[in-house]
Structure 1
Amino acid sequence: MDRRDFVKIGAAIGGALVASEALAQGAPDKNAGKRQRRAGPFPGGQPAVVTPNGTTLPLVEKDGVKIGHLVAMPVKHTLAPGLEADCWGYNGRVHGPTIEVVEGDRVRFYVTNRLPEPTTVHWHGVILPNGMDGVSGITQKPIEPRETHVYEFTFGKAGTFMYHPHYDEMTQMALGMVGMIVVHPKNPKGPRVDRDFALITHEWAIPAGTRRPDPNEMTDFNVLTFNAKAYPGTAPIVVGKGERVRMRFGNLSAMDHHPIHLHGLTFEVVGTDGGEIPVSARYPETTVLVPTGSVRVIEFVPTESGDWAMHCHMTHHMMNQMGHGFPVMVGANAQKIDARVQALVPDYMTMGQSGMGGMDDMKMPAPKNAIPMRGGKGPFATIDMGGMFTILKVRDDPDAEDGTGWYVHPNGTVANKADDVKMKADGIDPNVAF
C-alpha cells in the first residue's frame, strides 16, 4: 500500500465516521417530511415510554423531589387467556409499573410490604449511595411484612435500568417481582424517536392445571412472557412506517438469555444498562441477545408496512405450557398405542406423530387453567406460536390503528398456492411433491 492509497482509505473512513456521528447528533431525517413529528413531554421532545400490557408509576413532585409508592403484594394475574396464576408483584400488577424520570431527578420511593415474608428493592444498574442499594443484610435491614421503608436518591445517569427484590430473590423474582426504570437524558443526543417502548422478559414454571409458579425450577420453564403476558395475551405494538422507534428490553429471567428477533427490519443496539453505546461501535442486526440480568436498547426505522412477528428465537420459548420430557414421536405409528389407551381414556391421542404445528386446531382437552400448545387466531390460519411472542404492526397511519386489525396486503403480495401451469412454464414439475 502506497501513501496515496493510505490517504484515500483514511479519507473514506473519516467520511463514514463523520456521517455516522452526524446521524447520532441529529442529522436531517429523510422520513421527517412523510409524517408529523410529535414532541413528547421529556427533554428534547422525547416521547413518554409505553409499557405494553403494563403501566407507569405515578409520581408527585414536592419541594423538588419526585415521590412514588411501591406496594409489594400477592397478585392474581392472567398470563394469557385461559391461564391465571397466583403471583407476587407491585401495586396490584405483574410486573411492577415502569418508573420514568429524567436525569438529575431527586426521587423518594416508599416501599410497603404486604407479602408474607420480608423484602427489599434493589435498583439494578443505578449508581447511588450504598445505603440505598436495597441488598438485605448488607446495605439495609429487610422490610418486614406490614412495614414501609423509604429510599431517597438522585438519578445521576441517564439510561434504562430495572428493579427487583434482593431478599429471597429466587422466590420473589420467580413469582413476578420485577420492573423497568427509564431515565431520560437531560440533554438528549441524536435524532428524536417517535415511539419508545419498554418490555421485560420473564420465564415461569407452571405445570398445566396449577396456579402457583414454581420458584424452585432451574431448567424446565414452560411459560415465557413479554411484560408478564404470553401470546396471545401480549398486546401488539403499533408503529408508523418511517417512524424512528426505540425498544428497551430487560431480562431478569431466572436462567435463560433471550435472543429477540424482529421480522421485516434491521436495527442497531444503541444502549445497555451500562449506558449508551458509541456510534462507532454500532452495527445493523435483526436479533439482539438480552442476557440474564441485562438491558439492551435498540432503535430502528421500519420501511415496510405489515404485521411483523417479534419473538424470542429459542423455539421452546414460543410455546405455551409445552410438555417436556416426552419421547420423540415424529414419524412414529401410534395407532396401537392409541387404541389401547383409548379403552381407558376415550379422548386420548398421542401427540407429535407428524409434528406439533396443528395441535391447537385439534382442540384437545386440557386441565382447567392450562394453555398447552395454544396460540392465537391469525388472518390466514391459526398462529401456532405462543409464549415470548408478539406482533409489531407497522402502519402508514398508526394513530388510526387500535392494534386489533390485521394488515391488508396489496394484490399480488401474498405467498399463495402455486399454479400448475405457471410451474410448468417455469420448468418446475408440479408432481415433484408426490
Structure 2
Amino acid sequence: MINRRNLLLGSAVGLVAASLPVRAQHNHSMHDMPMNSGDHSAHNPVQRPIKTTKNIPAVSTKKPELNTQNYRPVITPNGRTLGYRMNEGVKEFHLIAEEIEHEFAPGTKIKAWGYNGSTPGPTIEVVEGDRVRIYLTNKLPEHTSMHWHGILLPWGMDGVTGLTQPPIKPGETFVYEFTLQQHGTHMYHPHADEMVQMAMGMMGMFIIHPKEPVTPTIDRDYAVLLHNWAVHPGTYRPDPNVMTEFDLWTMNSKVFPAIESLVAQTGERVRVRIGNLSMWNHPMHMHGVQFEVTGSDGGRWPQNQWRKEVTEIVGVGQTRDLEFVAVPGDWAFHCHMSHHTMNAMGHDVPNMLGVKQPEAQINKVLPGYMAMGESGMAEHQEHTDMGHMPGPENTLPMMMGEGNYGKLEMGGMFSLIRVRDQLGVAADLYEAPPETQARKVNQVPDGIPV
C-alpha cells in the first residue's frame, strides 16, 4: 500500500516549467543527407528560460506558412516534424529506435524508449499520393518492427513481427516503402513486444495532407498524442506490467504545466489532431468553444457529417480532428476523467474524508507524517506551501501550475489554448476585460428563490 508520504508529493510552489529541448540529430549518414523544408525547424518548441509556472510554456506564435506542396505544416507541441530527402521522386525518412532520457516535467526524468531522441518520435508529415521510403534502425536491446497505424499499404509493409515480416534485430535496419492512397491523421508504433515497447514510449504521429486543397482552410494545425505511464514513486523506468492503474497521463509525453500551450490569434481556424495510443479512452474537453469533429484516420469527413461538441471521446487506437474558430482567452483543454489531470497517482489508498487524524500523536511514532484528506485534497496545496512533506525522489507533485489567481490544481493530461487579438513574442496569462470576470460579492440580493 502507498502511504501518505509517498502519495502527497512535494511543493507546487516555484516549480520550473521549462519545455524539454529538442535533442540534436544523431551523426548518422542518413542525417548528413540534404533535407528539404519538411524539417520545420521554425516550429520547434520555443527555447527560453521559464522562471515559474506562471510562465506556462507555449509554442511559437508564428503562423506556419503554406509550403511548396500547398499545405500548412503541422505543429507538434513539445516536438518536431521529421525531415526527409527527395530521391528520384521518393521521400526518404530515417527513424532510429533507441533508449532515451525523457523528462515529463522538471522533477521527473525516466529511461524511456523512443525514436530519434524523443518520445513520441518526430511527426512524419506527407501528402496523399507521395511515395515514401522509411528506414528503421534498431538500437534497442531487443527486436522491434514498425506498424503504420490506419494506413492503407501492401501487406508486407504492415510491420507485424512474425506475420508480415521477420523481427528487426538489435543493430539491424529495415526499410518500408509504399505510396500513400489516403489522407488523414494517423500514427506509428511497434508491433513487436508491443506491451513493453509502447509502455516505454515508442510511438508517433503520421499526418497525411490531402492532395487537393479543402475548405474551410486551416490557419493552425496541431498534433497531440495521448499516452499513459506507470512510473512508480522514486523509480526511473516505466513498468510495462501495469494494465490499468497508471500514474502519469500525458500529451506528447509531457504533463501539465510542461505541456506547451496551443497558441492562436482571434478569428483563426484551428485544428487539433488527437491520437490515442494509451490504454484508456479519453473524453477530451475544450473550454470556450463548441468545436466541430471533422475527421479521423479516415480523413477529413464530408462537411454534412461534421458535428458540434464540447467533449469528444478519443478511443484507444483512434484519432479525431477537432476544429474551431479561436476566441480570446486562456482556455482549458483536457481529458475529463479527473484522475487523468493529476500526476503521481496512488492506488489502494484508504479514504480519509471525514476522518480525524491526530497529527501530533502520529508524529511520535511516524516522524514527518502529515494528516491529509479529512476535508478533501485541496488542503494538500495549502500544506505544501509550508515547505514540508517532501515526496520520493524523481516524483512530481500531483497537481502543479500557477495562474494569475493562484494554483491551477491540475497536472497530467491538461493544457491551455491561448488566444489573443494580437500575438507577440510570448503570450502572457490572459487578463479579463472589465466586467467580464466572476467576482466576490458580500451578499446575495433579497428575493432570489432557493
Given the alignment of the two structures, is residue 333 of structure 1 paired with residue 356 of structure 2, yes or no?
A: yes
What value does the CA root-mean-square deviation take over the aligned residues? 1.8
- Which residue does 2:66 correspond to in 1? 40
One-letter amino acid of the counterpart of residue 188, structure 1:
P
CA distance in 1, matches of 2:260, 2:245: 26
Alpha-carbon distance change, 38 to 320 in structure 1, aligned in 2, over 3 angstroms: closer
Shift of residue 419, structure 1, vs aligned partner: 2.7
Unaligned runs of 5+ in 2: 1-61
After TM superposition, the runs of 4+ consecutive aligned structure 1 residues lying more than 6 A away are none
Q: In the TM superposition, what whole-angstrom CA distance separates every residue of 1:208-233 from its partner, at most 9, and x where no partner exists? A: 11111111101101100000001111
Q: SS where residue 271 of structure 1 aligns?
A: strand
- Asked if structure 2 preserves the Cα contact closer than 8 Å seen for 1:244 and 1:299, the reply is yes
1:320 is aligned, of 315, 330, 343, to 343
Report the residue type matching 1:342 in the other structure.
N
CA contact 1:70–1:112 (8 Å) conserved in 2: yes
Cα-to-partner distance string for 1:327-385 (whole Å, 9 max, x where unaligned): 221122112xx334311333211321111124234223101111131311111001101
Q: How does 1:262-411 map to 2 (within 5 A)?
A: 262-303=286-327, 305-335=328-358, 338-363=359-384, 364-398=389-423, 400-403=424-427, 405-411=428-434
Shift of 1:275: 2.6
1:73 partner SS = strand
Q: Which entry has the higher C-alpha Rg, 1 or 2?
A: 1
Q: 1:150: Cα distance to partner? A: 0.7
What does residue range 32-431 of structure 1 map to in structure 2 within 5 Å?
A: 39-41=65-67, 43=69, 45-253=70-278, 255-303=279-327, 305-335=328-358, 338-363=359-384, 364-398=389-423, 400-403=424-427, 405-420=428-443, 423-424=444-445, 426-427=446-447
Partner of 1:341, secondary structure, is: helix
As a proportion of its length, which structure holds more helix? Answer: 1
Measured in 1, the distance between the counterparts of 2:214 and 2:361 equals 68
Deviations 1:256-277 (A, max 9, x none): 0001000000111111112332
1:87–1:176 Cα contact (<8 Å) kept: yes
Whether the aligned pair in 2 keeps the contact of 1:109 and 1:152 (CA below 8 Å) is yes
Query: Offset at 1:188?
Result: 2.3
Quick one: structure 1 residues 42 and 194, their matched pair in 2 at CA, closer, same or farther if it must change by over 3 Å?
farther
5+ residue gaps, structure 1:
1-35
Q: What is the alpha-carbon distance in structure 2 between the residues aligned to residue 134 and residue 42 of structure 1?
A: 31
TM-score (normalised: structure 2)? 0.82
Partner of 1:21: none
Moved more, 285-294 or 360-369: 360-369
Q: Secondary structure at the match of 2:365?
A: coil
Instruction: Give, as a single letter, the amino acid of the residue that structure 1 aligns with 2:247.
Output: N
State whether residues 183 and 298 of structure 2, in contact with CA within 8 Å, keep that contact through their aligned partners in structure 1: no
**SS of residue in 2 equivalent to 1:202:** strand
Does structure 1 conserve the Cα–Cα contact (< 8 Å) formed by 2:256 and 2:401? yes
Q: How many matched pairs?
A: 385
Deviations 1:48-91 (A, max 9, x none): 00000011111111110111110000011001121111100000
Aligned residue identity for 2:128: E
Closer, same or farther: CA 333–116 of 1 in aligned 2, 3 Å: same
- Offset of 1:281 from its aligned partner? 2.0
CA distance in 2, matches of 1:215, 1:312: 23
Distance 1:38 1:310, change over 3 A: closer
CA drift at 1:119: 0.2
CA distance in 1 between partners of 2:330 and 2:379 (Å) = 22
Secondary structure at 2:378's aligned position in 1?
coil
Alpha-carbon separation, structure 2, partners of 1:42 and 1:415 = 47
**AA of the residue aligned to 1:73:** E
1:99-118 Cα offsets, whole Å, 9 max, x none, are: 00111111111100010000
> Secondary structure of 2:231's match?
coil
Aligned equivalents of 1:86, 1:351: Cα separation in 2: 32
Q: What amino acid sits opposite 1:207 in the alignment?
A: H
Letter in 1 for 2:106: P
Q: String of CA shifts for 1:266-305, please: whole Å, max 9, x gaps.
A: 11111111233222222210011100011001111123x1
Superposed displacement of residue 427, structure 1: 4.1
| Superposition TM-score, scaled by structure 1 size | 0.85
Aligned residues of 1:135 and 1:167 also touching (Cα < 8 A): yes
Which amino acid in the other structure matches residue 339 of structure 2?
A: H
Q: Deviations along 1:136-157, whole A, 9 cap, x unmatched?
A: 0111111100111111111111
**Paired residues of 1:238 and 1:401 also in contact (CA < 8 A):** no
Q: Which digits, 9 at most, give the CA deviation of each residue in 1:217-254, with x for residues without a partner?
A: 0110110000000111101111111100011000011x
Question: Shift of residue 428 of structure 1?
Answer: 6.4
